[in-house]
């Protein structure tokens, strides 16, 4: 190979490397821009308070949370945040921006991990088993109890809280708030959902004809799909549903049990609901249906549908500002 050819190859490699660097820089710039527009960049330093990381709330590897103690620790209200990730990924650090934001406003804040489907195993009192929506709700409850105890050790008595989350975390936050408004270790004053699914019958619609074929035709593919169905029912209920025939009534009932929408009643805490009009994962209809149900029950709430945003909520910074102001308004109104 001649020196000229080598020089040409080096030039080509250099240009490719430069293009990769520029493209990577552009991607990171866009991500940073989206995070800023969505309000997910919040600075923190020691003068804002203390962050206690990886505090235990149970025996499992994922049973940890981070506690944000503002410099002024006289507050008795907790802001608890639950991460998203389709119930199978994500970490508590994903919601640190929210914990930072409201700790800087003077509220005790926390972000939690929970055991995810397909990745983690549980270590609850009933023994090791696989995660489900029911186990995730139980872990939220365990975390709240531990936060109460840990705060007591720091001379803080928590008497009220708000719970919120993003995507799957928004679903879990709403489900916990709607089902445990009266028996939570800390009374829940309001809830927040950023693009949280509220209705599994909408998120995972049932094709009855397709399901009938799967259960009536004994092909290898259909037998495999039946097992998938049973795993899905376990995810919704936390129970091994033993059935040899398909029942759309059973499927619908389990989807409703796991859906925050169907647990709304006059005891449901007020809500801030945030959705994207262009969201292809969790449509804004989840927020609209929840808003209608809250309205029928006479529950105070605010619904925001970001007109230009998808699931990331990063294309409408003015709406982001409005949501943040509304959450602070709810803090002032409902924290007594």
- Tell me the average confidence (pLDDT) per consecutive run of 10 residues in the chain, 336 residues long: 64 58 43 60 94 96 97 90 97 98 97 94 74 96 98 96 98 98 96 98 88 84 87 89 77 94 97 98 98 98 98 95 97 96
**Res 246: pLDDT:** 74
Please name the residues in contact with 102: beta carbons below 8 A apart, sequence gap of 6 or more: 79, 109, 327, 331
Q: In the prediction, which pLDDT does 33 show?
A: 47
User: Tell me, what's the pLDDT at 35?
Assistant: 58
Q: How far is CA 39 from CA 77, 102, 128, 321, in A?
A: 22, 12, 38, 8
pLDDT at residue number 217: 84
**Alpha carbon distances (Å) from 58 to 63, 115, 138, 171:** 5, 11, 11, 22
| CATH 3.75.10.10 describes domain 46-199+269-334 | no
How do the domains of the chain map onto residue ranges?
A: 46-199+269-334, 202-255
pLDDT given for residue 212 in this prediction: 80
């Amino acid at each position: 190979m001649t020196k000229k050819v080598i020089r040409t190859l080096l030039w080509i490699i250099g240009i490719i490397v430069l293009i990769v660097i520029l493209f990577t820089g552009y991607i990171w710039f866009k991500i940073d821009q989206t995070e800023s527009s969505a309000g997910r960049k919040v600075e923190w330093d020691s003068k804002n308070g203390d962050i206690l990381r990886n505090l235990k709330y149970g025996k499992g590897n994922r049973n940890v949370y981070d506690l944000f103690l503002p410099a002024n620790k006289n507050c008795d209200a907790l802001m608890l945040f639950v991460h998203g990730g389709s119930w199978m990924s994500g970490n508590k650090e994903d919601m640190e921006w929210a914990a930072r934001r409201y700790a800087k406003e003077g509220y005790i804040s926390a972000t939690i991990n929970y055991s995810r489907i397909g990745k983690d195993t549980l270590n609850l009192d009933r023994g090791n088993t696989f995660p489900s929506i029911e186990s995730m709700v139980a872990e939220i409850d365990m975390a709240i109890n531990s936060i109460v105890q840990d705060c007591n050790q720091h001379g803080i008595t928590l008497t009220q809280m708000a719970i919120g989350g993003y995507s799957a975390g928004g679903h879990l936050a709403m489900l916990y708030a709607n089902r445990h408004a009266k028996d939570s270790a800390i009374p829940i004053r309001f809830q927040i959902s950023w693009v949280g699914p509220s209705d599994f019958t909408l998120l995972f619609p049932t094709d009855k004809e397709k399901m009938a074929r799967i259960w009536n035709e004994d092909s290898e593919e259909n037998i495999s799909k039946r097992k998938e169905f049973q795993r899905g029912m376990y995810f919704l209920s936390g129970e091994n549903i033993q059935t040899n025939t398909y029942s759309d009534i059973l499927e619908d009932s389990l989807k409703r049990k796991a859906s925050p929408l169907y647990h709304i009643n006059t005891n449901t805490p007020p809500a801030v609901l945030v959705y994207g009009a262009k969201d292809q994962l969790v449509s804004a209809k989840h927020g609209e249906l929840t808003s209608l149900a809250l309205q029928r029950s006479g529950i105070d709430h605010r619904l925001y549908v970001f007109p230009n945003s998808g699931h990331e909520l990063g294309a409408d910074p003015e709406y982001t500002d409005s949501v943040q102001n509304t959450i602070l308004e709810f803090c002032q109104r409902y924290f007594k």
